């Protein structure tokens, strides 16, 4: 036998009727609904004739129990104040507009259903086998999956409530979260989801089915009823704009929006201590939800390490670069593809670094391509700009290209102490050379106990070379790579800045050396940048939800 199982119609008669039609067309002999008849859309009453007229066998969700009893809230199981505020708003609408005969019918529904069909033991619940409003997330730890499956012991457990479809084998039990019909699955698709199960021969096989329906009519009915636009926007875009805080980090990372604007902590003041743009466009407007990416909490700034070998061996290099370092050079073609992918993925700035990028044979072509597509900064020690690899750099003056270098003292003795004998003079020559090319560089000083007193003198020296005051900044030494002292940096204590190397994706450019910073490695080579964004977002919220805080910026763009 083939059966179809849906969850949460949520006052969406258009999707419920589409479910009936699609399931019948697929040869499903029995149709089931796992509850929550109201909860998002405007017209719950329109569901009743569809349910009864098509023989849909229902269990009650927490919403149906609450409406039948006339409770003061839905009992949805939310913990966040904003989640509960939106839940209360739509519950009040549903309670006020649901006919009492329909509400009484909801009160006759069982809260679970257990039966054997074609030799398969089926257990149908709303939330989980533990509680009516339990959220059975796909990302739960394995022991939590086993706990819920073993509480049933059925061959198949079918659930809903969370709104996100998934299936997996847990021991001998096939668990299927069938999704909901009332709203999209926070995946950018307007379709909703249900499940089809083939039970022939006692070997159940489940398929999660995307379902097209008249979403325009549903959105129009919600507007006509005066429901808030944030509800209608989800129907029209496929992205959740409510019920965000209940989402675990992994599920939250897959959506477009990640935070309620009202939950942004007032004490968090993202510093823009240097020149990296504080990308706050994503916070513009009045929408009550905001993304993480594109804000000061996760800048839309991509870092690319062209290579790791360097003509210097600075004793505090955070990524352990030196002439002896394994080059780990990214091919020119890969670099161009990364630039194009960065633009497509929504990055608005590019930082090209190393090692020493001007040891890469294709550096000028890369900077040419990159600065045509988005604002680009190249980090260099400015000592190799007269060589053949830098030929053609002058042609990039006037483009969206900035050159950044380092000067760690006003005198050779102070600078050379950490960077090597003769490096101060060659860096000064490089600064003059860049200025002559029409590319006056930005200059950063890494503060150490040896140069703190010289900072004013360095600023005066650079001003004498014609550099604007805004082209000089001071950055802290970070305890990574070769550095044995300095500011600690980790994914739980710094905002993320997605970084690409030959070893894959990393949380932050200061932790881009896999050997010395394995804790900040995110994914292997070839991982799409879009996936990297999700991984960063997931780790960000794992850290945030651990103690309720948000990490601080540790910027390498200075």
Identify which has the larger pLDDT, 558 or 519: 519
Residue 354 has pLDDT above 90, yes or no: yes
Rounded Cα distance, 75 and 93, in Å: 15
Residues 6 or more apart whose Cβ sits within 8 Å of residue 550: 265, 268, 297, 544
Alpha helix positions (H), 276-357: 332-345
Per-residue pLDDT at 268: 46
Per-residue pLDDT at 296: 79
Average pLDDT, the chain: 92
Per-residue pLDDT at 272: 43
Residue 256 has pLDDT above 70, yes or no: yes
Q: Is residue 17 part of a domain?
A: yes
Per-residue pLDDT at 546: 60
- DSSP category for residue 215: H
Report the CATH number at residue 407.
Answer: 3.20.20.70
Given 166, 194, 216, the domain boundary residue is 216
Per-residue pLDDT at 283: 66
| 484, β-bridge pairs | none
Q: Up-side HSE of residue 34: CA atoms within 13 Å toward CB?
A: 33
Q: Up-side HSE of residue 220: CA atoms within 13 Å toward CB?
A: 5
317 and 195 within one domain: no
Q: Are strands 2-6 and 30-33 parallel, antiparallel or unpaired?
A: parallel
**CA separation, residue 23 to residues 18, 29, 235, 478 (Å):** 8, 8, 22, 59
SS3 content of the chain, % helix, strand, coil (to 5): 35, 20, 45
Q: Is residue 6 part of a domain?
A: yes
Q: Is residue 226 part of a domain?
A: no
Per-residue pLDDT at 273: 41
205 and 310 within one domain: no
162 and 26 within one domain: yes
CB of 448 within 8 A of CB of 477? yes
The 10 Å CB-count burial string (b at 16+, else e) for 108-144 is ebebbbeeebbebbbbbbbbbbeebbbbbbbbbeeee
Q: How many CB atoms lie within 10 A of CB 264?
A: 15
Collapsed DSSP state (helix, strand, coil) of residue 263: helix
Q: What is the pLDDT of residues 115-166, one digit of tens each?
A: 999 999 999 999 999 999 999 999 999 999 999 999 999 999 999 999 999 9
474 and 350 within one domain: yes
What band does 79 get if pLDDT is binned at 50, 70 and 90?
confident
What is the number of residues in the chain? Answer: 558
338 and 435 within one domain: yes
Given 199, 216, 233, the domain boundary residue is 216
Q: How many CB atoms lie within 10 A of CB 448?
A: 19
Q: What is the pLDDT of residues 12-49, one digit of tens each?
A: 999 999 999 999 999 999 999 999 999 999 999 999 99
Tell me which residue has tokens 């179809």: 4
Report the CATH number at residue 59.
Answer: 3.60.21.10
Per-residue pLDDT at 262: 76
CB of 16 within 8 A of CB of 24? no
- List the structure tokens of 12: 């969406």
Per-residue pLDDT at 117: 93
Given 216, 242, 267, the domain boundary residue is 216
Collapsed DSSP state (helix, strand, coil) of residue 144: helix
Q: How many CB atoms lie within 10 A of CB 538?
A: 19
Q: Is residue 296 part of a domain?
A: no
Determine the distance from the C-alpha atom of residue 525 to the mean position of all C-alpha atoms in its chain, rounded to a whole number. Answer: 19
Give the range of the structural domain holding residue 99, as residue numbers without chain letter: 2-216
Rounded Cα distance, 309 and 372, in Å: 27
Helix H or strand E encompassing 86: helix 81-97
Of the candidates 346, 345, 341, 363, the one whose C-alpha atom is nearest the C-alpha of residue 354 is 363
Q: Give the least confident one: 286-300, 413-427, 463-477, 524-538.
A: 286-300
309 and 198 within one domain: no
Mean pLDDT of all residues in 68-80: 90
| 167, β-bridge pairs | 176
Identify which has the larger pLDDT, 507 or 280: 507
Q: What is the pTM of this model?
A: 0.88
Q: Is residue 70 part of a domain?
A: yes
CB of 403 within 8 A of CB of 371? no
39 and 141 within one domain: yes
Per-residue pLDDT at 549: 59
Q: Is residue 180 part of a domain?
A: yes
Of the candidates 56, 58, 74, the one whose C-alpha atom is nearest the C-alpha of residue 66 is 74
Between the CA atoms of 45, 47, 53 and 56, what dihedral angle is there, to the nearest 10 degrees? Answer: -140
Residue 78 has pLDDT above 60, yes or no: yes
Mean pLDDT of all residues in 59-78: 94
203 and 336 within one domain: no
Q: What is the pLDDT of residues 164-218, one digit of tens each?
A: 999 999 999 999 999 999 999 999 999 999 999 999 888 899 999 999 999 999 9
User: What are the two backbone dihedrals, phi and then psi, of residue 426, each rounded to the nearest 5 degrees?
Assistant: -70, -35
Q: Is residue 274 part of a domain?
A: no
CB of 252 within 8 A of CB of 245? no
CB of 530 within 8 A of CB of 505? no
What band does 556 get if pLDDT is binned at 50, 70 and 90?
low
339 and 438 within one domain: yes
Q: What is the DSSP string of 159-181?
A: E-SSS--EEEEETTEEEEE---S
Rounded Cα distance, 294 and 455, in Å: 33
Intra-chain end-to-end CA distance of the chain, in Å: 65
170 and 316 within one domain: no
Q: Is residue 288 part of a domain?
A: no
309 and 212 within one domain: no
185 and 331 within one domain: no
Residue 545 has pLDDT above 70, yes or no: no
Per-residue pLDDT at 271: 42
User: What are the two backbone dihedrals, phi and then psi, of residue 86, each rounded to the nearest 5 degrees?
Assistant: -65, -40
Q: Give the least confident one: 293-297, 432-436, 456-460, 550-554.
A: 550-554
Q: What is the pLDDT of residues 459-517, one digit of tens each?
A: 999 999 999 888 999 988 889 999 888 888 888 778 889 999 999 999 999 999 999 99
Per the structure, the count of domains in the chain is: 2
- List the structure tokens of 184: 């999209």
């Amino acid at each position: 036998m083939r059966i179809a199982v849906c969850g949460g119609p949520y006052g969406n008669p258009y999707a419920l009727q589409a479910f009936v039609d699609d399931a019948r067309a697929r040869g499903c002999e029995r149709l089931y609904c796992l509850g929550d008849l109201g909860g998002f859309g405007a017209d719950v009453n329109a569901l009743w004739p569809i349910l009864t007229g098509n023989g849909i066998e229902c269990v009650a969700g927490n919403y149906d129990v609450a409406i039948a009893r006339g409770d003061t809230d839905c009992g949805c199981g939310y913990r966040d104040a904003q989640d509960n505020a939106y839940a209360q708003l739509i519950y009040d609408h549903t309670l006020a507009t649901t006919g009492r005969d329909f509400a009484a019918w909801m009160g006759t529904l069982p809260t679970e259903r257990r039966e054997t069909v074609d030799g398969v033991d089926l257990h149908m619940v709303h939330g989980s086998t533990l509680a009516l409003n339990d959220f059975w997330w796909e990302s739960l730890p394995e022991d939590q999956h086993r706990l819920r499956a073993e509480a049933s012991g059925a061959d198949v457990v079918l659930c809903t409530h969370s709104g996100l479809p998934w299936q997996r084998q847990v021991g001998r039990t096939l668990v299927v979260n069938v999704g909901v019909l009332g709203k999209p699955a926070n995946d950018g698709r307007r379709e909703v989801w249900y499940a089809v199960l083939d039970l022939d021969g006692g070997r159940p096989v489940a398929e999660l089915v995307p379902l097209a329906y008249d979403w325009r009519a549903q959105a129009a009915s919600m507007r006509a009823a005066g429901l808030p636009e944030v509800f209608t926007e989800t129907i029209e875009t496929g992205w959740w704009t409510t019920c965000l805080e209940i989402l675990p980090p992994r599920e939250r990372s897959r959506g477009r929006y990640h935070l309620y604007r009202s939950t942004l902590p007032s004490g968090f003041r993202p510093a823009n201590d240097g020149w990296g743009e504080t990308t706050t466009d994503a916070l513009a407007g009045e929408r009550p939800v905001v993304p993480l990416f594109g804000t000061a909490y996760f800048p839309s700034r991509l870092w690319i390490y062209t290579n790791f070998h360097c003509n210097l061996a600075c004793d505090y290099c955070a990524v352990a670069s030196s002439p002896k370092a394994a080059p780990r050079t990214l091919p020119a073609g890969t670099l161009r593809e990364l630039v194009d992918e960065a633009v497509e993925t929504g990055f608005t700035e590019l930082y090209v670094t190393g090692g020493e990028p001007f040891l890469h044979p294709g550096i000028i072509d890369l900077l040419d391509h990159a600065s045509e597509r988005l604002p680009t900064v190249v980090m260099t020690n400015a000592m190799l700009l007269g060589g053949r690899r830098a030929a053609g750099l002058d042609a990039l003056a006037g483009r969206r290209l900035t050159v950044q270098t380092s000067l760690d003292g006003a005198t050779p003795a102070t600078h050379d102490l950490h960077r090597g004998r003769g490096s101060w003079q060659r860096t000064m020559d490089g600064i003059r050379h860049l200025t002559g090319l029409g590319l006056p560089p930005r200059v950063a000083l890494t503060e150490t106990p040896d140069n703190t007193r010289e900072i004013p003198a360095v600023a005066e020296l650079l001003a004498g070379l014609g550099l604007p005051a805004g082209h000089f900044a001071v950055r802290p030494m970070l305890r990574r790579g070769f550095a044995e002292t300095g500011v600690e940096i980790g994914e739980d204590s710094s905002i993320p800045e997605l970084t690409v190397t030959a070893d894959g994706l990393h949380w932050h450019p200061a932790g881009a050396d896999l050997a010395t910073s394995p804790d900040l490695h995110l994914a292997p080579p070839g991982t799409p940048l879009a996936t990297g964004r999700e991984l960063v977002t997931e780790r960000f919220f794992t850290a945030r939800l651990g103690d309720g805080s948000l990490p601080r910026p540790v910027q390498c763009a200075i």
